[in-house]
Amino acid sequence: MDRAADYSKGAAYVGGQYVPTGQAAVPITDWGFLRSDATYDVVTVWEGAFFRLDAHLERFFASCQRFRLNPGLDAQGVTEVLAQCVRLSGLRASYVEMICTRGQPPWGSRDPRQAVNQFMAFAVPYVWIANADQRERGLRVKVSSVQRIPPSSVDPTAKNYHWNDLTMGLLEALDADFDTVLLTDALGNVVEGPGFNVFAIQGGVLTTPREGVLEGITRRTAIEIAQAAGHSVRLAPLPREALLNADEAFLTSSGGGLLPVTQVDGQPIGDGAPGAITRRMIDTYWAWHRDPRYSLPVQY
């Protein structure tokens, strides 16, 4: 590790070494690159503290187990690497990613069991998936004609890089001048978008899809916030029509928390402005970042 290096744009851990993110690289023959054969998780740092790191670590190791990957570190070891990446960068608001790739088996082998798995990580400035104007007015979302990969093919509860369906749907939405996209399952139910879950609110009751989705940590936090405020939460199929007829809607992501949705397929949701329940939940979400039950300060 070169302490004199410039880590101001972020710090990475690759091959057992800390380097500036601009110098971090994955071998071209790593199956993580060649086949998207990897898992990952993203935790954020806000005001100098990790938010719900324990939950992200739990999911990361569950994803590793699901895909038969071994990061070679336990939870404490991963925590130390992530903290050092943040510490080197000096960032007080950061987007921190942990990754385990398949690596490469002996040349010519197609047996994934022979590969040497690789762990890597990085910390960069905090990432918002919606800009300030979008967060204020609410997102304009398109329900895509692209179907989400079925859970029987790729388990969505294990975080993965199989994003071609999400990317094609997003391109479709952006080309049509929407802000982002939601994909549906084979039955036409809305499931999730590129990096986020979705909630609809009708009569004070929140509905979010139960199946075919990543069980997001921000999704979990939104459920807990709603229940703490006395709202009922349903984990159930969410047909497109139910989303269109909702009083309010929002997305959840580590890249911005709770993000209001005010238009779907050109139709306003509710009165076309971020709703009162959504706004209160957003305030609570950021307040919870200062709650010691959920935060772990970084020792800079």
Q: State the DSSP string of 43-78.
A: EEEETTEEESHHHHHHHHHHHHHHTT---SS-HHHH
| Confidence (pLDDT) at 2 | 63
Single-letter amino acid code for the residue at 202: Q
Angle at the Cα of 88 (from 83 to 91), degrees rounded to 5?
A: 80
Taking the C-alpha atoms of residue 31 and residue 112, their distance in angstroms, rounded to an integer, is 9
Q: How many whole angstroms from its chain centre is CA 81?
A: 20
HSE (side-chain half, CA atoms, 13 Å) at 3: 2
Q: Are 41 and 63 in contact (CB under 8 A)?
A: yes
Give the fold, CATH level 3, of 11-125: D-amino Acid Aminotransferase; Chain A, domain 1 (3.30.470)
What are the residue ranges of helices labelled H in the chain?
A: 31-34, 53-66, 75-89, 132-137, 164-175, 217-228, 240-244, 276-288
Taking the C-alpha atoms of residue 125 and residue 115, their distance in angstroms, rounded to an integer, is 32
- Length of the chain in terms of residues written: 300
For residues 158, 164, 166, 168, the Cα torsion angle rounded to the nearest 10 degrees is 180
Judged by DSSP in three states, 10 sits in coil
Taking the C-alpha atoms of residue 226 and residue 232, their distance in angstroms, rounded to an integer, is 7
Domains of the chain, residue spans: 11-125, 132-288
Q: Are 147 and 165 in contact (CB under 8 A)?
A: yes
Taking the C-alpha atoms of residue 182 and residue 198, their distance in angstroms, rounded to an integer, is 8
pLDDT tens for the 300 residues of the chain, in order = 666 789 999 999 999 999 999 999 999 999 999 999 999 999 999 999 999 999 999 999 999 999 999 999 999 999 999 999 999 999 999 999 999 999 999 999 999 999 999 999 999 999 999 999 999 999 999 999 999 999 999 999 999 999 999 999 999 999 999 999 999 999 999 999 999 999 999 999 999 999 999 999 999 999 999 999 999 999 999 999 999 999 999 999 999 999 999 999 999 999 999 999 999 999 999 999 999 999 999 999
User: Which region, left, alpha or beta, applies to residue 230 given φ > 0 means left and ψ of -120 to 50 means alpha?
Assistant: left
CATH of domain 132-288: 3.20.10.10
Q: Structure pTM?
A: 0.95
| Confidence (pLDDT) at 4 | 75
Q: Which of 23, 13, 148 is nearest to 73 (CA)?
A: 13
